[in-house]
Amino acid sequence: MIGNTMFTPYEELLEQAIRFINEGDDYLVVSHVQPDGDAISSTVVIGWLLEKLGKKYTLINEGVSPSRLHYLHLSDTIINYTAVKPNRTFKRVIAVDCADFRRIGDVEACFAEGYELLNIDHHPTNDLYGAVNVVHSSAAATVEILYELIVQAGLTIDEPAATAIYTGLLTDTGGFRYSNTTPRVMEIASELLKLGVNGHWIADHLLERMTMPQLKLLQLGLSRLAFSDDAKIGWLFIEANDLSATGAAPEDLEGLVNYARNVDGVEVGILFKELMNGQVKVSLRSAGMADVAAIAQSFGGGGHVRAAGCRLDGPLQQSMEQVVEAVRKALNG
């Protein structure tokens, strides 16, 4: 689905977004809770865009920005709402890479009464919660949409913005390995490299390097790796106190689910992360036989056909049984 309706041309939606940005000022820019590479990259790209247009803005998210993304321009200005709550509200809001309104989290408290929201996203499960919605499910990442937005706005992309866009593309395509790596993605990546992006350094920094706490968390997760009787489903879990026990950060969980999915014969890999509040965060990855977005939606989540997630109220063992059974039915249905 694209935009406000299925029938609105993509270029017109980009124009609507440009008008939304040009007509106002003093923006709140937000993404989803526990932001990942595309979320942080999209947030700072919007900040860069607003800065170029002479607009006031505040960047905020519920959750800590991953430390490995601190090289991005403006990343150090993103407020962690969990730690710092602005003593004001905003009438104009831009949400990026946020598949549904609930994923904005407690930052909603910063929205003024009668606020207007621009929703820019690439998740097919997006519920079009904005006054203006630019939702392009064919895009590999939200930064791909932002690249098109900047070009259509007639602005020149410099190296800091190019680096952020490249980062979002790299992370959401798994290093240009996933099925969402389209010719258009590679065209954009090529243009960004021409602008001075250090693609080798970014790939090495984000995809190859590993901290010792991250390695310990990986060892712990792999020690719990389990499979269904037919070996088509693989899953592992992380308990609530495992991060503190290993010294790992929440960002160190990223990519862990792929170890279950990447085993030969496995069609769906699942990572269960027990949270301190008793909830269980679930990440699902599919080889293609199962639509994990539909499975996640059945539990109140969402995402893409091959990559999705949701949260359950727990307990951990019960949540694992419920999700594994839902995946089993999807594969056998």
pLDDT-derived band at 45 (thresholds 50, 70, 90) equals very high
Residue holding tokens 């995946």? 327
Diameter of the chain measured on Cα atoms: 59
Q: What is the dihedral of CA 303, 186, 161, 168, to 10 degrees?
A: 30
Phi-psi region at 265: left, alpha or beta (left = phi > 0; alpha = psi -120 to 50): left
pLDDT at 244: 95
Q: How far apart are CA 95 and CA 76, in angstroms?
A: 19
Answer whether residue 92 shows pLDDT above 70. yes
**Considering the chain, what is the average pLDDT of its residues?**
94
Answer whether residue 5 shows pLDDT above 60. no
Q: How far apart are CA 217 and CA 271, in angstroms?
A: 13
pLDDT at 333: 76
Q: How far apart are CA 58 and CA 90, in angstroms?
A: 9
Q: Which DSSP category does 206 fall into?
A: I
- Of 27 and 4, the one with more pLDDT: 27
* CA 52 to chain centroid: 25
Residue 267 one-letter amino acid: E
CA distances from 210 to 217, 219, 252, 309 (A): 11, 12, 9, 24
Mean pLDDT of 141-151: 98
The share of the chain scoring above pLDDT 70, in percent, equals 98
Question: With contact defined as beta carbons under 8 Å apart, do 152 and 15 qualify?
Answer: yes
pLDDT-derived band at 197 (thresholds 50, 70, 90) equals very high
Answer whether residue 6 shows pLDDT above 80. no
User: pTM score, two decimals?
Assistant: 0.90
pLDDT at 290: 94
CB atoms within 10 A of CB 277: 8
CB atoms within 10 A of CB 209: 9
pLDDT at 4: 46
pLDDT-derived band at 7 (thresholds 50, 70, 90) equals low
Answer whether residue 130 shows pLDDT above 50. yes
pLDDT at 1: 37
Q: Count of H helices and E strands in the chain?
A: 11, 12
Answer whether residue 266 shows pLDDT above 50. yes
Mean pLDDT of 258-273: 96
- Of 221 and 288, the one with more pLDDT: 221
Q: Each residue of 211-230: pLDDT tens digit?
A: 999 999 999 999 999 999 99
Helix pair 159-172, 142-152: axis angle to 10 deg? 150
pLDDT at 150: 98
Answer whether residue 326 shows pLDDT above 60. yes
Least-confidence region, from 6-15, 151-160, 229-238: 6-15
Answer whether residue 96 shows pLDDT above 60. yes
CA distances from 14 to 2, 45, 50, 318 (A): 11, 15, 15, 44
Q: Each residue of 50-66: pLDDT tens digit?
A: 999 999 999 999 989 99
Give the residue among 286, 254, 288 at the shortest CA–CA distance from 270.
286
pLDDT at 119: 98
DSSP string, 243-295: HHHHT--GGGGTTTTHHHHTSTT-SEEEEEEE-TTS-EEEEEEESSSS-HHHH
pLDDT at 303: 85
pLDDT-derived band at 156 (thresholds 50, 70, 90) equals very high
CB-based contacts of 115, cutoff 8 Å, min separation 6:
89, 90, 91, 92, 93
Give the residue among 328, 325, 315 at the shortest CA–CA distance from 275.
315
CA distances from 122 to 45, 69, 83, 137 (A): 15, 21, 28, 4
CB-based contacts of 320, cutoff 8 Å, min separation 6:
235, 237, 270, 272, 280
